[in-house]
Structure 1
Amino acid sequence: MKKMRKIPPIWLTIDSDDVFHHPKYQGHPTRSKKKIDDSQISEKLISAISRFKKWHLDNIHIPITIFVIAKQLECRIFKEKIANVMTISKNNNGKIIIGCHGYQHKCWSAFEPNEKLFEKDLQKAKKILSEFAGSSWRPWFRAPGGYIAPWMAEVLKKLKFELDTSINPTILLSIKSGKSNTKFRFNGWKSVDKAIKKVDIVERPWLTTFFSLLPTCGPALHIPILRGFARQRWRKMSNSKSATEHEILDPKTEITTVYWHLLDFNHKNGFWTPPLRLK
């Protein structure tokens, strides 16, 4: 009888993006066409945070990592809302970790390499996030929009980041790995992975399906056709336990990494929940 493969532990992560952080509004050299005010939290994100709080309290045993855009914390309401969720979580023996999603939502690999500007952005983000989150802060990075190129690895190492989780290893989105002079025109995810590991940073790519052909995280959870495959894959791979912090940081340990957005809790008239089957 064939032995069933053990399902690896799963790491649940959320991105804090607001409506105006979409590349069509900001942070992309060609896609950003219409700038809208990003100084105040949107009503949609306020609603989503409330719904996330309820879901988290209903599943308080599940640890969550939120990758926050540091500039959002300059908005008093956003800062108070997130702080409130973290306090209530802690008081109920929950665990919320805060990671870095940049200072602003800039799609770095879509631009020409600029190590100095990227370093300046990260320094500012790290200071704001660490001061806000205190003991809940971790030097973990997720590139805005999943736009990460090999040149960014050295900056992450210089600023003492321990982990990156920006790679969506599907060939359909390899354009996000940055331009190159190769015949493929883009660096490719293997090049990014190699650069990250070369500087001794742990890389945790996102869950995909159909042999890494299709994405399953973020927007894929809601795109027609894709969402069916994504939900099926999530349910299968989440029939496990939550990854511990030690497992997340151990490059020798296989884990499954999934992510969604806070705003997702507004889907289905506010009744959406991540398609999980955690034990």
Structure 2
Amino acid sequence: MNKNFIAVTVDIEDWYHIPSVTGSPFSKFKDVDEFFSKWDKRYDYLTEPTKRVLNMLDELNIKATFFVVADVVEHYPGLVEEIADRGHEIGCHGLHHACKIHPKTKKPLMSTEEFEKRTLKARRILEKASGKEVIGYRSPNAFIGGWMLDSLKKLGFEYDSSVSKNSLYNKTDSQLTNVTTVPYHPKNDCLDAEINDPKNKGLQEIPWPYFDFMGFKFPTAGGPMLRFLGSGYIMLGLKQSLKRSSTVFYFHPIDISNEKFPNIGKGRPLYWIIKGETIENRIKYILKNTKANFGCCSEMLQI
């Protein structure tokens, strides 16, 4: 594994992919298909900020991993192809950005067979569009179960990056025993870390960074925490996590969109109150001022 390395990851999804709008038990629409069957207004708030992200990464000479929701290929023609053509790694972010476990109970929302069927379809769509092999996965909304990693192993994925060990929330169905910010091999049927098992050389989990203060672990991977708490907060966790091992940073192109999104769905009235150029500048500051090597996930793991 590369040392002092931060995998830069970009989640490619649009405003309607968030759980208050589609893909969760409390969504306005059951799924993306229902959304498009009923929504007759503009939906694309993704293309413009994605191109700005690509230009920013070019300027900084950074190749990132873009975890892409597969339905983006259909609804944003040419976008995934451009990401791949500009040298970035393509990872799978699900078929429709749907939660696979219930946000509250953590019980499965679909069968193992259905999850594998959807994930295979998503990977094939992404590989056809990008012309690249897809070996990495990130679960939509970061809700992840151990049974899902077993399926990802079965399907031939080489890594996942969804687990966030912290003291504020647990989006998994496991206790995350022995999990820190260090990439690890998970045990079968759970997300706990397998310790000192030389036979376990399969799928690797790239957990998210945190800042440990007197035993309380603050999540610092990016995303909403970047928008609400700023670059200094994120850098605290990145720098501390780098002392343990290589780590990961993530954001969404829509985080830097300067446009106002449609106001539908319930439960997150202030979710997008901070975004746009302010967040773009925060991302640039982190990438310019954190003393580390930057690249994609497979480069970090030396796959």
TM-score range, shorter chain: 0.7 to 0.9
Give the superposition deviation at 1:191.
Answer: 8.8
Identify the residue that residue 297 of structure 2 maps to in structure 1. Answer: none
Give the superposition deviation at 1:200.
Answer: 2.1
Identify the residue that residue 92 of structure 1 maps to in structure 2. Answer: none
| 2:196 is equivalent to residue 161 of structure 1 | no
Letter in 1 for 2:205: E
Structure 2: how far apart are the matches of 1:237 and 1:117? 39
Give the superposition deviation at 1:57.
Answer: 2.0
Q: Structure 2 length normalisation: TM-score?
A: 0.69
Give the superposition deviation at 1:207.
Answer: 1.3
Alpha-carbon displacement from aligned partner over 1:167-199 (angstroms, at most 9, x marks no partner): 01113221x213xxxxxxxx2233994336668
Structure 1: how far apart are the matches of 2:18 and 2:5? 30
Letter in 2 for 1:201: L
Distance change (3 Å), C-alpha of 1:85 and 1:161: closer
Distance change (3 Å), C-alpha of 1:223 and 1:271: closer
Give the superposition deviation at 1:81.
Answer: 2.6
The equivalences for 1:1-279 within 5 A come to: 8-29=4-25, 31-34=26-29, 37-38=35-36, 42-60=43-61, 62-75=62-75, 78-87=76-85, 89=86, 95-110=87-102, 112-113=107-108, 114-135=111-132, 137-174=133-170, 176-178=171-173, 187-190=174-177, 193-195=186-188, 200-210=202-212, 213-217=217-221, 218-224=223-229, 228-234=232-238, 236=239, 254-266=245-257, 267-269=275-277, 272-273=280-281, 274=283, 275-276=286-287, 277=290, 278=292
Comparing 265-274 and 19-28, the one that deviates more: 265-274
CA contact (8 A) 2:138 2:161 kept: yes
Letter in 2 for 1:200: G
Distance change (3 Å), C-alpha of 1:265 and 1:82: farther
Q: Structure 1 length normalisation: TM-score?
A: 0.75
Structure 1: how far apart are the matches of 2:127 and 2:161? 18
Give the superposition deviation at 1:134.
Answer: 1.6
Match of 2:89, SS state, is strand
Identify the residue that residue 247 of structure 1 maps to in structure 2. Answer: none
Give the superposition deviation at 1:165.
Answer: 0.8
Structure 2: how far apart are the matches of 1:257 and 1:125? 23
Identify the residue that residue 301 of structure 2 maps to in structure 1. Answer: none
The alignment covers a number of residue pairs equal to 240
CA contact (8 A) 1:69 1:102 kept: yes
Give the superposition deviation at 1:23.
Answer: 0.7
Identity of aligned residues (%): 29
Q: Which runs of 5+ in 2 are unaligned?
A: 180-185, 195-199, 258-274, 294-303
Identify the residue that residue 264 of structure 2 maps to in structure 1. Answer: none
Structure 2: how far apart are the matches of 1:270 and 1:46? 19
